[in-house]
Structure 1
Amino acid sequence: MPHDQHPDVTEAIARERALHDPAVRLSRSLAEDLFDPEFTEVGASGRRWTYEEMLAALPGLHGGAETGPPIVATAFAGTVLAPGLVHLTYETVIGERRARRSSLWRRDADGPLRLFYHQGTPVPEAQA
């Protein structure tokens, strides 16, 4: 089965898209379900985020308000690295900012995939 058609890739993409929903970003309980307790991120700004830092900051970050610019995500590609471990890549546009993104989703026992690691890299204007 091609990686992009694997059920775990489909699940990871759906859960990644859920993280872009303002309703999820504003709800700690909904967001907690999507993040692995060992989550870390290196954001497009270069800042390193932990699980607790991200959950606390998520409502105020881009995409957290119904009135702000939406997160537009495209070009998803996924690979199953091992059972219960999915690597996603995609691009986002938020207002005028464009970034290439990479996420690792992992499954503990029989639960859902949860975001274990995320990195965003800004795309220079000349390449946008």
Structure 2
Amino acid sequence: MDVPGEIDEAIAAELRLMDPSVRSSRALSRELLDPDFVEIGASGRRWTYAEMLAALSEIAGGSAEGPRYEPSAMNGTVLAPGLVHLTYDTHIDGHHAHRSSLWRRHTDGTWRMYYHQATPFPK
């Protein structure tokens, strides 16, 4: 069920969301998060769409002067047309996490993160 380009588009959106210039802009972040967004962070905290938009510039990776996310081993699977599951690892400021994201394409063609989960692991 691989729809050409969908995995690449979801990966591009995921990488864009890690960019400090996007994370520090509520308007740009809003373009990449689904209104039904939920995250279970590496801390175990559950984040809603509104909570994440309000905090994204303040948490790790949100400043050009601070630490940046270093992703690796990124893989994607098309679960259905317009729905992509990404898995990868990140390193930021001495912390490592396995990550899983669900991206869905909206009717306007944009990709938005619907769900994200991070699980810390020791290096």
Give the counterpart letter for 2:6 in structure 1. Answer: D
Q: Determine the C-alpha separation between the residues in 2 that align with 1:30 and 1:77.
A: 24
Check if 1:49 corresponds to 2:47. Answer: yes
Q: Determine the C-alpha separation between the residues in 2 that align with 1:80 and 1:113.
A: 13
3-state SS in 2 of match to 1:44 = coil
Partner residue in 2 for 1:104: 102
Percent sequence identity is: 57
3-state SS in 2 of match to 1:55 = helix
- Point out the more displaced range, 5-14 or 38-47: 5-14
Q: Determine the C-alpha separation between the residues in 1 that align with 2:20 and 2:117.
A: 20
Matches within 5 A, 1:30-49: 30-49=28-47
Q: TM-score, normalised by structure 2?
A: 0.95
Deviations 1:77-126 (A, max 9, x none): 00000010000000000011000000000112242111000000001x2x
3-state SS in 1 of match to 2:57 = helix
Structure 1: tracts of 5 or more residues without a match: none
Q: Which has the higher helix share?
A: 1
Q: Determine the C-alpha separation between the residues in 1 that align with 2:108 and 2:22.
A: 23
3-state SS in 2 of match to 1:10 = helix
Q: Determine the C-alpha separation between the residues in 1 that align with 2:53 and 2:84.
A: 22
3-state SS in 2 of match to 1:59 = coil
Check if 1:89 corresponds to 2:87. Answer: yes
Q: Determine the C-alpha separation between the residues in 1 that align with 2:107 and 2:65.
A: 38
Q: Determine the C-alpha separation between the residues in 1 that align with 2:71 and 2:106.
A: 26
Deviations 1:13-40 (A, max 9, x none): 0000001111001101100000000000
Q: Determine the C-alpha separation between the residues in 1 that align with 2:4 and 2:17.
A: 20
Partner residue in 2 for 1:7: 5
Deviations 1:50-72 (A, max 9, x none): 00000000000100111111110
Q: TM-score, normalised by structure 1?
A: 0.92
3-state SS in 2 of match to 1:56 = helix
3-state SS in 2 of match to 1:52 = helix
